[in-house]
Structure 1
Amino acid sequence: MHLNLHDYQFKNNWKIPFSRNHHLAVIHQNDEHKGKDTRYMFSRPFRKHGVVPLATYMRIYKKGDIVDIKGTGTVQKGMPHKCYHGKTGRVYNVTQHAVGIIVNKQVKGKILAKRINVRVEHTKRVRENDYKKKEAKEKGTWVQLKRQPAPPREAHFVRTNGKEPELLEPIPYEFMA
C-alpha cells in the first residue's frame, strides 16, 4: 500500500528521513509477533463461534492426565503459543482456571520437556488409553499403552527358482600409468 507521506507527516507529526523516493513509502507489517501465521490455526469452526459451552469448564483434570492442546480463538486469556498448538502433554499442576502441562518441544537438535500453563478452554482430555485399559480389565489381560517400534521380520525362506546366488564384490583397483 502506498501512502503520500507529505500528508501523513503533517497529520501525525511524523519525521521522514530524506530519500530520493520520499514521496512514496511501503508500510510493512510486523512479522515477528507471537500471533503471526495463526489466521486459520486459532479460528473457530463454521457455526461454532460465540460463547464457549459450559461443559468445557466442568471437566475435571487430575495430575497425570494426558491432554491435547488446541488454542481456542474465542478466549485469548491463557492461550498457548502457536508452537504448542496440536501437541499432546501430561498434566502436572491444576489451578482454578488453568492446568500446567509438560509438553515436548524440539529446539534445534534437542527435545526439551517444557512446562506451560494453559487455560482449560484450550485443552481436551485424551481418553484412548482409558478405553484400552477398560477393555483389558474386562478381559483380565495386560495391554501395552506405549508405542512400540516395528519388530524385525520373521525368519522365512527365499525361493531362487533353480538359480544359484551370485557373489557381488567391487572390482579391484588397477593403477594405470
Structure 2
Amino acid sequence: MGTFQKGMPHKCCHGKTGRVYSVMQHGVGTVVNNQVKGKILAKRINTRDSFLKCVKENDQKKKEAKKKGTWVQLKHQQAPPREAHFVRTNGKEPELLEPIP
C-alpha cells in the first residue's frame, strides 16, 4: 500500500453512504469515497453501532409526522437550565473554599 494521502477528518464523511467491509461486536467498518484535492480515495472508517439507534428513531419520527402532517424536531435538544431556587443550609454555616497556596 505504501504511503497514504490523508484528507479531512471523519466529519467530512458524515451523512455519506458507504459499503460495510467489517462487522464487529459493537461497531461497523465502512468504506467511504473521500475527495482529497483532485483525487477520490477509498477511506475506511470504523464507527460504533449506537448511532444507528438514533437514525432508526428519527426515521420512525419522520414517518409518524408525515402521517399526521406535522413537523417534528429531530435535532438533539439540550436540557433547559434549572429553575431558580433557594438552597437550605439546615443550620450549618457555609464553608469558604479557597485555592491551595
TM-score w.r.t. length of structure 1: 0.24
* Structure with greater helix percent: 2
TM-score w.r.t. length of structure 2: 0.41
